Amino acid sequence: MNFELASLNLAGAAADKTDALVVLVRDGFKPGKDALSRLIDDAINMGDLDTKAGKLLQAWRAQGLAAPRLLLVGVGDGSPRQVRTAVTAAMASIKAAPVKHMTLCFSVACGAGAVRAAMLAVAEATYAYTTTKSKPEARKLQRVKVGVPDSASVTTAFAQARAVTAGVEMAKEWANRPANHATPTLLAEAARSLAKGAKLQCEVLGPRQVAKLGMGAFMAVAQGSEEPLRFIVLRYNGAAKSSAPVVLVGKGITFDTGGISIKPAAEMDEMKFDMGGAASVLGVFRALADLKPQVNVVGLIPACENMPDGRAVKPGDVVTSMSGQTIEILNTDAEGRLVLCDALTYAERFSPAAVIDIATLTGACVVALGAVRSGLFASSEALSQALFEAGEASLDLCWRMPLDDDYAEGLKTNFADVANVAGRAGGAVTAAKFLQRFAGKFDWAHLDIAGTAWKGGAAKGATGRPVGLLVEYLLSLGTKAPEGPKVIPKAARKTRVASRQVAGRAQ
């Protein structure tokens, strides 16, 4: 999607030669002296236009307008949420029309959040997956002019939304691809080509290197598959080398059959989305490549399939993770935490300011929070607050969940340091408690996106979440601390680096 930003008042919008002019009208609309203003005012006064968010009034070849199609849309109070509702409704109503160029006009000054919400809603409404179709239908809408009274006031928001849109679409693309078109090897290639830009690097480890690192938990999941595993390391260097990076860890199970603890057949196809966390990391890097904020970010993706096979890991097998902790794999379907725990240990070498893992981890999180909010777990209050706020600001919502130690009771076993599952109760929390054992050396947060990464049913498809939340968070660090994130006080970080050097893993 091609977005451009322009300063446009309603008189200018009326003269704009475009296929469709969409005007967003707020509660308490105050008309100017131009004809379009008067038309809007009349429509409101006569009761034909309601300014409630999502209410529409459509006209064709309206007098005095250069555009053949006019769509007046109520945006209520003009908040980002209401703007999103409005633009989504507007896009649905012009979907069938042959609109290649559209102008989206804010009739009064609006905030940065409203502009971003509008752009993301346009992109969302017009996205179409085509990769594995023999006769793909191209996106009809090609260019969108975003018109605001004063474009200078929203240039940053505009650039951010454009980058997030590209990131979200990249995440959707990879998550939507079927597992035979999104193998660990193909994911690694996507990461590599993403890293061709300035300030980006990518390194890909294969089975031998992963074995050498001692990632016994990750390898146990991969061993039932013919597809070789990949461990992807992406780096974005936007700040000084001395600035501690934020590490993003994305679960990259390219297909989750459950392994020997095999899943039922119904809806198993949706387990191609089990690399939604990995896809969101790729999407974030796509946005970083555009925006070039002053932060350092590392992306880690443990990618493999979870398959049943003669060589597959069996319930009761005990494996040794990279951290040295032994794990009894009681259920091979709880594989996400196994690939993530080794990636978390690997993250230590970056002396990170914070580590955030993103994973389609548990069906229990879907039960707890549904498709509205991702589950947020965090060992640090500040990090939790920052991620929560980033979610609110980007309309990519999350909700904090508990991490009381009592939840870890069920992970105890007689045969290893820890089991990979506890009972059914509190499943999203016990999964997070498992991960927390591997995240003791840095500030850590975990986003369980099992309910939010994709939609099922007729609208089946990836959502691109939580790219918006993560980019918002990373940008907030870039602006608050020009020389890089300072989530951890300096003194604390020194001790951490020192302890890692003793362990001989500093880089």
Rounded to a whole number of angstroms, the minimum distance from the CB of residue 308 to ligand BES is 13
Q: How far apart are the C-alpha atoms of 238 and 347, rounded to whole Å?
A: 19
Identify the residue among 74, 224, 426, 427 touching ligand BES (CB under 6 A): 427
State which of positions 256-275 bind Zn ion (CB under 5 A): 256, 274
CB neighbours (10 Å) of residue 138?
Answer: 7
**DSSP secondary-structure letter at 262?**
P
Q: How far apart are the C-alpha atoms of 67 and 432, rounded to whole Å?
A: 53
Q: Which two tokens stand for residue 121?
A: 């809603």
Cα–Cα distances (Å) from 314 to 207, 280, 401, in that order, read 20, 30, 31
Identify the residue among 80, 224, 293, 336 touching ligand BES (CB under 6 A): 336
Q: How far apart are the C-alpha atoms of 394 and 469, rounded to whole Å?
A: 6
Give whichever of 255 and 346 is closer to Mn ion, judged by the CB atom: 255
Q: Does 256 bind Mn ion (CB under 5 A)?
A: yes
Q: How far apart are the C-alpha atoms of 479 and 489, rounded to whole Å?
A: 18
297 DSSP β-pair partners:
236, 246
Identify the residue among 302, 336, 375, 478 touching Zn ion (CB under 5 A): 336
Rounded to a whole number of angstroms, the minimum distance from the CB of residue 422 to ligand BES is 8
- The answer to whether the beta carbons of residues 270 and 322 sit under 8 Å apart is no
Identify the residue among 328, 333, 357, 472 touching Mn ion (CB under 5 A): 333
Tell me if residue 263 is catalytic. yes
Q: Does 364 bind ligand BES (CB under 6 A)?
A: yes
Helix/strand/coil percent split, the chain, to 5: 40, 20, 40
State which residue has the least CB distance to ligand BES: 363
Q: Does 126 bind ligand BES (CB under 6 A)?
A: no
Q: Are strands 252-256 and 246-250 parallel, antiparallel or unpaired?
A: unpaired
Three-state DSSP at 3 gives strand
Instruction: Look at the block and give the residue holding tokens 């999607």.
Output: 1
Query: Which residue among 55, 337, 441, 465 is the active-site one?
Result: 337
Q: Does 450 bind ligand BES (CB under 6 A)?
A: yes
Give whichever of 110 and 361 is closer to ligand BES, judged by the CB atom: 361
Give whichever of 22 and 449 is closer to Zn ion, judged by the CB atom: 449
Q: Does 335 bind ligand BES (CB under 6 A)?
A: yes
- The residue type at 110: C
Give whichever of 339 and 344 is closer to Mn ion, judged by the CB atom: 339
State which of positions 233-292 bind ligand BES (CB under 6 A): 256, 274
The window from 137-145, 174-182, 327-335, 395-403 that contacts ligand BES (CB under 6 A) reads: 327-335
Rounded to a whole number of angstroms, the minimum distance from the CB of residue 364 to Mn ion is 12
At residue 268, φ and ψ (nearest 5 deg) are -65, -25
Tell me if residue 337 is catalytic. yes
Which residues are part of the catalytic machinery? 263, 337
Residues within the interface to ligand BES (CB under 6 A) = 256, 274, 331, 333-336, 360-364, 366, 421, 427, 450
Residues within the interface to Mn ion (CB under 5 A) = 256, 333, 335
